[in-house]
Structure 1
């Protein structure tokens, strides 16, 4: 009667205490640099003889070198970024340098930063080097994606099996407590106009068989590169399928996809009109065509009425085209947010991120009336459990 579409984002992995943030990856990278003989595809040091003990960020390394060298220069192969006195660091990946600096002071969405850099190149006064600059940017993103994949394979995948959470497992179960009150509670998550059409059938189903499922089928739409939910909780699901929409680790057929997915952005047409395929290469929609994932998703949402469960996905604009297609689909009757309840010690003025996610969801709707009818209110929503270590 009703299907379920579970949308998983990075917050789901974080709720299992898995270090899957870009900042975790960047911190891990710099922690491996033990001295100034380091050289790789991201950067190299030009002045040997300095030891970097227990340093986990570019800022710490730079402060240490500055205390001993005074002013020094960070060089790019084509240009100087800082014109100071002593050449000390040579950059081979300028974008990685940028996000390393920004992530130390604030949370950074690499995919949005990529899009902003792309637009910056397109808007530069001189058009002579636009193609080369964008090609270089795309190559830098390719390298970061590969290094990030290696990090997840080596450091995160081995940890998943030990992160089972009983409270999270309960969220994947699709059976109702066999009483009429639980059915009424479930129906409150849908617009009353739709609830009326299915109330009688649900009550009959309950009377005929008190051991029944709320959902006929479940599709897990996984935006993460890890496969945490399926590895830990597949035994809680009877009839389900997983789509790793952004790719899977170490999978040639479905490689990880790090790019930008907002074709509704007002500047997207500007990129298309440049008539250069390289400018569009890291747009997510084109990566989706490499597999059957997109078609399978649309077969699911076009087949039958469904409810969306959002677990750990911020619903940011970097995935707007895809999320808009899901949320505004005629078969999407309800969107339930599983929100993060902040630690009481957290100084954040908000106690949870329910409202933040709902505001983000609103950006994916062209028809705002639909949004208000579909989003389950907070009193009926559920906290996303956090694993306690």
Structure 2
């Protein structure tokens, strides 16, 4: 069974199985379980709550400030996709950060570029790969392997883009298919995406919120409730419906992008130096590990999007920002203050923000 969450039926088909999951209330215990290897992060969910009025105000400020930039990048990415695919296009967004981007791109490909376009949202999990039940379902619907384009919001240090490529390569070998495992994103900080609209670390407004900007769907889950023929799981937060921003957010960005295309034409693709981005990423990861005494690279999360995830659902050890007065990091500084997380200002930081997860081994 597929469903569209709080989006319109034509916006997206979530290839996820709605299940009940008892949230892990003790985040310190959750970190100990993950970092000790006793539980995989995909088996557990942190409690999800509605944003505070102050935090929601920051989301609205970020949307107002960055909506034109995001709209332009969505338009640019849609143009790149249209140029690289012939015929019908099958967008496959990675739940859940990729879902709002996929919804927007689907509308732009149809309305601005006149292309036939379908959109599915599927699960990918670090160290577990992409949901192959979902991929097989997409191919059974009559979509060609060559039409598939994987979508996400951004890359941080490139873990998911590498996971995706490896998983799809394995899928193709087993099923004799030709799915392109490259990832298409709005901003590529790691230099690992197949295609990106930008290489800059800027605040993508949808990264600030969780379910209420992603169709009321949780992060994907892979636990004992998921059988071999099931899609990966999720929780559907129907109780948040009155506070949902998902349609309003996507519709606003689509309207902005369509207006930009009419007024200015489609923006030209930017030349992105993926090799330079990858070099910067590797150098920063090594420097951060040395400076802060971190053995596990998974505890370092570069970029605004990744830092936001850490402060919302992990146990942060430190927030690092390049400029604490920059509007793009205001929500991070608020979260750090609310949670009494140490804040470090580093003018040499190659990104606007980074976050460190506290080591459960060190206590």
Larger Rg, first or second structure (1 or 2)? 1
Choose between structure 1 and 2: higher strand proportion: 2
* Fold equivalence (TM over 0.5): no
TM-score with structure 1 setting the length: 0.28
TM-score, L = length of structure 2: 0.29
